[in-house]
Chain A
Amino acid sequence: MTKIHVNISEARRVRKDVILLRESIQRILRQVNTSTNSLFYGSPSSWQSDSANEFQTLYQESVSEISGILEPLNDIAAKLDEAIEEAERVDRRLSR
């Protein structure tokens, strides 16, 4: 037998936490990217050398990995939302 338990208020708080986490990471990335973009894509760029290219590659790899987390966090929040809505529907039905 499948047993599902949802603490709706607690689930809402978790969902909000996930969304805040996502927004916070996105904001931090946006800020740091603004700074590093002006470093490399200014005219002329502030830092040009082999080591600058290496840095740029490694930096972009890291930022890309972190950015890759944003969409899954969105999905998790959406699934929590669905679970909360479903729990509320069941709760309303049982309350009648």
Chain B
Amino acid sequence: MTVIRMETGNVYEAVRKIEYAVSELEFKPRRMRGTAGDLKSAWRGSQASKLASELKQHAEVLGGEVANLSLLAQRMRNEINEWESKDHLGAQSIKNQITAHVVAPGDGGAKTGDSSHAPIHYSRVITNLDVIREGGEYIHGISHFGHVGSGFGNVPILAWIAPVLNIIGGWALYKEWTAEDMEHYQTDRERQAAIIVDALMAALVTAIRLAASATSIILSVLGTFSAGITAIIGLGLWFAAEKIATAVEEWFRQPSNRDMLVEYVMGQMDNPEFVAGLNTAMTTIGPL
């Protein structure tokens, strides 16, 4: 399980303590060298020279380590700034994302914003977090879309693909895979399943990147994912989201994993519950 977190106030405090220590230590090497000189004046003899030489060596070591500590403190400052910056950007992203998905209960038309054309029949706001959970279960082949997609069993599976393609007009047909990747699948049904898996992959990765940066959200995603990826995403943890998203992308890129998913989707394409859940997830997750 990957856990990453930073309480920036406490880390700042530690940085200040290190910087204070550096400011106190940085004159010690010079003082030690001075003491070495004094020692040779006060005590003339071979042992005195040896001890003075030792003192100078220790001064050298101390000087080097003080420089290292100073560098570490600077790196910590940079790290804090980076975390705060990512958190700020992430919070803005999730705010925008959730705003775009808020719809009135019973609203059967297009969603607000232009990110999706999904019919929405929920009495609650569906955010990317819901979709990620469902998507995660889907990836495992568990397919528990029931409570999300109930009532949509008759929606054709490609209903969401057309608007998605319209939204991204001018972009490549496939989100992540190349045309060569697609040529691997011979039949129409295989290709249809491959398009679904490809789009789902892109949507899932996008959702992870967008949603995981929300402040104080702790989310367990992909807990039993085949690659063993488990993440607890906490305060502004953009880096975790990036890592998960990258890992998911990597996982999807493995031809054997793709084949497994395509095969699974092919087997489920006639299952109304699966189709409903998939349609709901894919049209809620946007923008692709």
Residues of B within 8 A of A2 (CB): 45
* Closest residue on chain A to residue B25 by CB atoms: A28
B62 adjacent to A66 (CB under 8 Å) = yes
Give which listed residue, A14, A32, A65, A69, contacts B38 with CB less than 8 A: A14
Best-surrounded residue of B14, B38, B44, B47 (most CB of chain A within 10 A): B14
* Closest residue on chain B to residue A7 by CB atoms: B42
Residues of B within 8 A of A45 (CB): 5
* Closest residue on chain A to residue B240 by CB atoms: A49
CA distance A25 to B47 in the complex (A): 25
B interface footprint on A75-90 (CB within 8 Å = 1, 0 otherwise): 0100110010000000
Give which listed residue, B4, B55, B75, contacts A48 with CB less than 8 A: B4
Let me know if B61 is at the binding interface, CB within 8 A: yes
Interface positions, chain B 10-51, Cβ under 8 Å from A, are 10-11, 13-14, 17-18, 20-21, 24-25, 28, 31-32, 35, 38-39, 41-45, 47-48, 51
Number of interface residues of A (CB under 8 A): 49
B239 adjacent to A49 (CB under 8 Å) = yes
Tell me the dominant secondary structure on chain B's binding face: helix
A35 adjacent to B17 (CB under 8 Å) = yes
B interface footprint on A32-76 (CB within 8 Å = 1, 0 otherwise): 100110110010111111111001001101110110110011001
Number of interface residues of B (CB under 8 A): 44
Tell me the dominant secondary structure on chain A's binding face: helix
Give which listed residue, B7, B17, B44, B72, contacts A3 with CB less than 8 A: B44
CA distance A50 to B61 in the complex (A): 27
Interface positions, chain B 48-76, Cβ under 8 Å from A, are 48, 51, 54-55, 58, 61-62, 64-66, 68-69, 72, 75-76
Residues of A within 8 A of B28 (CB): 21, 24-25
Residues of A within 8 A of B38 (CB): 10, 13-14, 17
B7 adjacent to A47 (CB under 8 Å) = yes
Q: Tell me the B residues contacting A by CB distance below 8 Å.
A: 3-7, 10-11, 13-14, 17-18, 20-21, 24-25, 28, 31-32, 35, 38-39, 41-45, 47-48, 51, 54-55, 58, 61-62, 64-66, 68-69, 72, 75-76, 79, 239
Extra 6 A-B pairs, beta carbons < 8 Å, given A21-B31, A48-B5: A6-B43, A10-B41, A14-B35, A44-B5, A47-B10, A55-B79
